[in-house]
Amino acid sequence: MPSRRASFGGFKGNVLAGILTLIGLGAGDAETLSRGAERALREHSGRLILRTARHPVVATLQEWNIAFESLDALYEAASDFVSLYVQIADTVMARARNGAIAFAVPGHPLFAEDSVQHLLVQTNTEQIPVKIVTSGSFVEASLAAVRASLGDGCDVRDALMLPLEDTISIEGSRTVGRPDVSRALLLYQVFDKASASHTKLALMRDYPDDFGIAVIQWAGVAEKESVTWLPLYRLDRCEVDHLTTVYVPPLPSSLRRSDLSTLAGLMAKLRAPDGCPWDREQTHDTLRKYFIEETYEVIEAIESGDPDWLSEELGDSLLQVVFHAQLATEEGDFTLDDVIEKIVTKLVRRHPHVFGEVNVADSAEVLRNWEAIKRTEKSENVVDKRESLLDGVPQSLPALMRAMEISKRAVKVGFEWDSFGDVLAKFDEEAAELKVELTNDSGKDKIASELGDLLFTIVQIARWQKIDPEDALRQMLKRFTARFQHIERRAAEQNRALTDMTLAEMDALWDEAKRQEEESRE
C-alpha cells in the first residue's frame, strides 16, 4: 500500500504518492486554464480522470499528448444527477485508495461541483490528502460575456433545483429555492429543452413573462462564445447545450411582486417614529377587536364563494398577524420569523405520516395522532400553567363556538351521555324547564339561565351529529336574510311598504322565496 502523507507541499515535477489532486479545467478553452492547472494536468498524464470529456479544453489536452480517462459512460447509466455524482465520487475514491491520481472537472473544482463535494467528505473521513488546483469558473466567463459586475452581487443556482412550487426543508423548516429577484441570477444546468422549460416555468413565478434574460453559450471559448437576449417566455424555444448558462438581471422595484417581507417592512415603517400616529398608538390589547372582525370577514368571504373577496380579506387578516409580530419585535419578545418557525415546526411534527415514517389509514387516524402529539407537546411545555382542562378556551370566541369547544374537552375525559337518545331526553327536559319558567314569568335571570341550558344542549345535539352549530346558525341566518330581502323586493314591486302588508301576505312571499330556493337546487 503506498504511503499517505498528512501534509504536503507543491508539485516538484513528480507525482506525490497518496495524494488526490483536484484540477479545474476552466470555463472555456485553454486560454481560461491556469498555469498551475496546466502543469498539474501534464504531471498526471496517465493518472488523470476527467468527469467529462465534453469540454472545450479536452482537444488541447489531446494536442499535448496528455493521457486521460473520462467518466462519461456513467452518465448513460445513472437515473438522476444525485446518484450520478455519488457514483462518480465513489469511482474516483476507489482509484485514489491505490495511489496518487488527479480528478479534473470543468470550471473551478469548488464551484457547482457536487462530485467534488462528495469526494471531500470521503477523503476527509479516510484521511487521504487532497490538493486543489484552480482555474476560473463559468461564473466569471458568463458575467464577462454579458458585461455584468460580480461586485454587484449575483445569485448562482443549479437551474434544475429551482422549484416549481414552494417546498420545505424538514430539518430547517424553511421555504427554499425561490431566487432573490433584487439580485442578478446566473443559472447552470440548462442543457436541453426539458431543463430550459423547467427553468422558464420556475422563473415565471417571480418574473414577468416578457422579462429580458440572456442565454450565454460557450462562455470563455474564443470565436464560439455568444450571448442572446430574449424574453423569458422564449427560453425553451432557443438552442441550448451543455455549455449554456442563463443570466437574469435584477428585477426593477417597479416590477417586483410584494411578499411577506414587503408587508413586514411596510408595517415596520408605519410603526416608525415618522410613521402613522394611529398605528404607533396600537397595542396587542387594542388590536384584539380588529382581529376578531377580520376573522369574521374572512368567513363571510368564504361563504360568498368570491375568490377575489376572499383574497382581500385574507390579506387583512394577515396584516393583523404581521402587526402583532411587529409589536412583539419592538418589545423584544419574538419576531415574525419566530412566528413562522413555530408554526412550520409544529406542522411538520404533527404530520409524521407526511414528513416521517408513520402510516395512517384515514383522516380519523390523522386526527387521533394529532391530538396525541398535542398532549405530548403540552406535557413537555414547562411554560404551560393551565390547571383545568377547560383553561385556554378563548373568552372572546362566539358563544356557540366556545360551547362546542368546552363540551369537546369535557368529553375527552368521559363526561358524556351513553347514547344520542339520552341527549334528546336532556333536550326535552331543558325545553320543559324553560317552558315552566316562561309560564310562571319567573324573571329574566331565571329565564335566561334555562334558555342557556337549552342552547348548550342544542350544541350537544350538533356535536353528536357532527354539525358545527355556529355554521348551522350562520347558514340559517343567510337563508332568513335572502327570504326577507325577497319580501322587501316584492313589496317594492307593488309599491307597498312592509308596514302596510299583513302577516299573511308576508308569509305568502316567504313561502314563494322558499320555493324558488328549492327550484334552484334541483
Over the stretch 136-182, which tens digit does the pLDDT of each residue have? 899 999 999 999 987 777 899 989 888 887 665 544 433 446 788 88
In 3D, which of 23, 31, 25, 24 has the Cα closest to residue 225? 31
**Is the pLDDT assigned to residue 17 strictly greater than 80?**
no
Q: What number is the average pLDDT over the span 3-19?
A: 43
% of the chain residues with pLDDT over 90: 63
Helix (H, G, I), strand (E, B) or coil at 387: coil
User: Within 13 Å, how many C-alpha atoms sit on residue 192's CB side?
Assistant: 1
pLDDT at 166: 65
Phi, psi of 399 (to 5 degrees): -55, -40
Return the C-alpha cell found at 305: 364563494
* 260-349 and 399-467 agree in CATH topology: yes
Residues 6+ apart with CB under 8 A from 210: 231, 232, 233
Confidence of residue 355 (pLDDT cuts 50, 70, 90): confident
How far are the Cα atoms of 28, 412, 432, 455 from residue 419, in angstroms, in the given order?
Answer: 80, 16, 20, 19
Q: Give strand pairing partners of 231.
A: 212
13 pLDDT more than 50 = no
Polymer length of the chain: 522
Mean of pLDDT values over 416-426: 94
Mean pLDDT of the chain: 88
Sheet holding 226-231, edge to edge: 154-158, 184-188, 244-248, 212-217, 226-231
Fold of the 140-255 domain: 3.30.950
Average pLDDT in the 472-480 region?
91
Model confidence pLDDT, tens digit, residues 254-271: 888 888 888 999 999 999
- Looking at the chain, the whole-number percentage of residues with pLDDT higher than 70 is 92
Q: Which residue has the cell 496518487?
A: 100
Asked if 142 and 245 touch (Cβ cutoff 8 Å), the reply is yes
pLDDT of residue 2: 35
HSE-up of 365 (CA within 13 Å, CB side)? 7
- Burial of residue 77 (number of CB atoms within 10 Å: 0-12, 13-18, 19+): exposed
Rounded CA separation 137/108 (Å): 5
pLDDT at 380: 60
pTM of the model: 0.59
Encoded amino acid at 326, one letter: Q
374 or 48, which is more confident: 48
Checking if the pLDDT of 279 tops 60, the result is yes
Fold held by 20-136: Cobalt-precorrin-4 Transmethylase; domain 1 (3.40.1010)
For the domain made up of 399-467, the CATH class stated in words is mainly alpha
Q: Residue 63 pLDDT more than 90?
A: yes
Choose the weakest-confidence range: 2-16, 182-196, 342-356.
2-16
Cα–Cα–Cα angle for 71, 77, 81, nearest 5°?
Answer: 75
Mean pLDDT (whole number) for 481-510: 93
* Residue ranges covered by each domain of the chain: 20-136, 140-255, 260-349, 399-467, 471-521
What pLDDT sits at residue 10?
Answer: 37
Query: Which pLDDT tens digit goes with each residue over 440-456?
Result: 988 899 999 999 999 99
| Confidence class for position 357, pLDDT limits 50, 70, 90 | confident
Q: What per-residue confidence (pLDDT) applies to 222?
A: 84
Q: Which pLDDT does position 16 carry in this prediction?
A: 45
Domain 260-349, CATH number (from 1.10.287.1080, 1.10.260.30, 3.90.1170.50, 3.40.190.10): 1.10.287.1080
The predicted structure's pLDDT at residue 9: 36
pLDDT, tens only, 199-249? 999 999 999 999 999 999 999 888 899 999 999 999 999 999 989 999 999
Give the mean model confidence (pLDDT) for residues 178-207: 92
Residue 61, helix vs strand vs coil: helix
Neighbours of 198 (CB within 10 A): 21
Cβ burial of 497 (10 Å; 0-12, 13-18, 19+) is exposed
Give the pLDDT confidence score for residue 378 in this predicted structure. 66
